[in-house]
């Protein structure tokens, strides 16, 4: 907080020197230390710092959006403090925008390892055949991996756009639409950071399990990806808590939905509110599985779902307030199944739309076809997890849920023959992937054999073997 002449101007940023560059000792008034070993990312130092009457020169202000002059008077290019706050929120989203990319990178590595391994590893086979088939050809292996392959594509494509958008917004933060962009980007980064962190968490776990015991080897490199990604679910805002930044913003928009215009949504993330009353009265009209997984249906269904959960959450908060709860309590008691789901579904809706818009514009027709299958799989697989809400809200009925599931399975089967090409496109070089299961040449068993046979001590007796065999002949200690 910047406080000057008795007035609190809110959140501001400063450059704070911690250590004297000549001695690397902390400056007087600063206590700083390392936090010790963590579950993962131990290559990054995390520490604590305490300040005691520690003074900074005025030049250390990062005052593009506001600061004090020599006389301590506050100066800002914004007349409206809310706009200054909006612009600074957008810039502060940088950490979260960056984390969406980190999560994507981890999942990208894991999915390459698991799919390459699954194409090589064989197990069982058709009746009356001595040939075994690659595990990737089994439905249950496909459903564990291919939706995460689709998710990786959606995330990779999204991150590239998201990072660029954040940079552009930061540069133009004092422009007219800077504050509106800042606020919407804050809402987006506060739910997409959790969405991608959790998708990577679950995807990496699926990859680990899909590789069986081999995946449990440290040399498979999946365990470390999981431990590293874990931090993405916590820093820059604990995921569950952070989602409130998004849901609170959406809850504030709902009662003003008829007056909401382009100025409120420069990134278009609340387009689902257009004609929302009419939208909420619609029902799914699909007559067969394929109709449920085509892009138009999926995108429309997501629109409906986002609006429905927003409406339900708003109504719950309103009801709790009518029952006498204050705003703090009413919001807290509307998180689980409501506000938390709302923020995640809003994020999924936005990422799905972005994925679709990018895929449909891809020039090469054959590649575009595969990309559009990935869009369908990503959308249908996510929707399947919200099936109950689609039924409770009356949008779906009868057997439609089973059709959607059939659709997901059919898409998995259709994408399987492309899976290796798709992961080869994503794969970093072998030395970077650093996994015995995931090398580009598919030599899984040679890699494992070389790793195991040359592991220090793997083939020898333990150094203390004599103590096990001859302990009875040892002269006892006289102590």
**Subset of 422-451 contacting its own copies (CB under 8 A):** 451
Would you state the structure tokens that stand for residue 439, as one six-digit string?
């090398």
Cβ-Cβ contacts under 8 Å for 378 (sequence gap 6 or more): 147, 150, 151, 153, 154, 352, 355
User: Following CA atoms 448, 450, 456, 460 in sequence, which dihedral angle do they give, to the nearest 10 degrees?
Assistant: 100
Determine the 3-state secondary structure of 231 from DSSP. Answer: helix
From CA 291, how far away is CA 293, in angstroms rounded?
Answer: 6
> CB-based burial of residue 279 (10 Å sphere; 0-12 exposed, 13-18 middle, 19+ buried)?
middle
Interface residue with its own copies, options 172, 321, 333, 372 (CB under 8 A): 333
Would you state the structure tokens that stand for residue 36, as one six-digit string?
């010790």
By CB under 8 A, tell whether 258 contacts its own copies. no
Residues 228-247 that bind its own copies (CB under 8 A): 230-231, 233-235, 238-241
Would you state the structure tokens that stand for residue 296, as one six-digit string?
């138009």
DSSP 58: G
Could you confirm whether 236 is annotated as catalytic?
Answer: yes
By CB under 8 A, tell whether 388 contacts its own copies. yes
Among the listed ranges 107-115, 200-208, 294-302, 362-370, the one in contact with its own copies (CB under 8 A) is 200-208
Among the listed ranges 9-17, 132-140, 177-185, 270-278, the one in contact with its own copies (CB under 8 A) is 132-140
By CB under 8 A, tell whether 127 contacts its own copies. yes
Count the residues of the shown chain that bind its own copies, applying the rule CB under 8 A. 81
Phi/psi region, residue 442 (left: phi>0; alpha: psi -120 to 50; beta: rest), is: left
158 contacts 354 by C-beta, under 8 angstroms? yes
By CB under 8 A, tell whether 139 contacts its own copies. yes
Among the listed ranges 67-75, 161-169, 177-185, 202-210, the one in contact with its own copies (CB under 8 A) is 202-210
By CB under 8 A, tell whether 335 contacts its own copies. yes
Residue 162 vs 403, nearer CB to its own copies: 403
The residue annotated as part of the active site, out of 70, 209, 236, 259, is: 236
Would you state the structure tokens that stand for residue 239, as one six-digit string?
């995921």
What does DSSP say about strands 67-68 and 30-34: parallel, antiparallel, or unpaired?
unpaired
Residues 41-70 that bind its own copies (CB under 8 A): 48
By CB under 8 A, tell whether 281 contacts its own copies. no
From CA 108, how far away is CA 100, in angstroms rounded?
Answer: 12
Interface residue with its own copies, options 11, 143, 367, 426 (CB under 8 A): 143
By CB under 8 A, tell whether 248 contacts its own copies. no
Residue 90 vs 194, nearer CB to its own copies: 194
Residues 454-473 that bind its own copies (CB under 8 A): 455, 457-459, 461-462, 465, 468-469
By CB under 8 A, tell whether 410 contacts its own copies. no
- Nearest C-alpha neighbor of 437 from the set 10, 196, 60, 112: 112
Q: State in angstroms the smallest separation of the CB of 276 from its own copies.
A: 20
By CB under 8 A, tell whether 373 contacts its own copies. no
Catalytic residues: 236
């Amino acid at each position: 907080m910047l406080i000057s002449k008795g007035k609190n101007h809110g959140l501001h940023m400063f450059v704070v020197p911690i250590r004297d560059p000549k001695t690397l000792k902390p400056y007087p008034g600063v206590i700083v230390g390392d936090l010790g070993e963590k579950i993962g990312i131990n290559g990054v130092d995390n520490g604590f710092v305490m300040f005691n009457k520690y003074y900074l020169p005025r030049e250390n202000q990062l005052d593009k959006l506001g600061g004090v002059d020599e006389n301590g008077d506050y100066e800002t290019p914004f007349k409206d403090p809310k706009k200054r706050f909006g612009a600074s929120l957008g810039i502060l989203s940088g950490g979260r925008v960056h984390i969406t990319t980190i999560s994507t990178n981890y999942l990208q590595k894991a999915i390459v390892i698991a799919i390459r391994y699954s194409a090589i590893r064989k197990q069982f086979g058709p009746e009356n055949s001595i040939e075994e088939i690659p595990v990737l050809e089994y439905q249950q292996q496909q459903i564990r991996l291919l939706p995460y392959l689709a998710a990786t594509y959606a995330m990779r494509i999204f991150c590239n756009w998201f990072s660029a958008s954040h940079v552009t917004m930061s540069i133009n933060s004092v422009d007219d639409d800077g504050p509106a962009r800042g606020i919407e980007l804050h809402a987006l980064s506060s739910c997409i950071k959790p969405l991608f962190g959790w998708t990577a968490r679950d995807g990496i776990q699926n990859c680990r399990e899909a590789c069986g015991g081999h995946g449990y080897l440290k040399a498979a490199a999946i365990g470390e990806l999981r431990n590293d990604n874990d931090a993405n679910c916590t820093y820059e805002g604990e995921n569950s808590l952070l989602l409130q930044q998004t849901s609170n913003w959406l809850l504030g928009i709902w009662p003003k939905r008829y007056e909401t215009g382009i100025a409120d949504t420069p990134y278009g993330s609340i387009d689902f509110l257009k004609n929302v009353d009419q939208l909420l009265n619609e029902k799914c009209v699909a007559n067969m599985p394929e109709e449920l997984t085509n892009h138009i249906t999926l995108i429309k269904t997501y629109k409906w779902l986002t609006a429905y959960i927003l409406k339900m959450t708003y109504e719950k908060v309103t009801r709790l307030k009518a029952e006498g709860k204050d705003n703090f309590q009413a919001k807290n008691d509307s998180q689980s199944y409501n506000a938390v789901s709302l923020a995640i579904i809003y994020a999924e809706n936005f990422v799905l739309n972005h994925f679709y818009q990018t895929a449909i514009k891809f020039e090469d027709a054959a590649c575009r076809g595969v990309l559009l299958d990935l869009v369908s799989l990503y959308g249908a697989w996510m929707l399947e997890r919200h099936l109950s809400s689609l039924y409770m809200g009356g949008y779906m009925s009868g057997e439609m849920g089973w059709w959607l599931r059939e659709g997901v399975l059919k898409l998995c089967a259709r994408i399987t023959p492309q899976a290796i090409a798709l992961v080869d496109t994503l794969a970093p070089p072998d030395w970077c992937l650093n996994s015995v299961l995931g090398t580009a040449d598919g030599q899984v068993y040679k890699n494992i054999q070389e790793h195991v046979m040359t592991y220090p001590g793997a083939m020898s007796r333990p150094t203390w073997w004599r103590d096990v065999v001859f302990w009875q002949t040892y002269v006892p200690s006289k102590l």
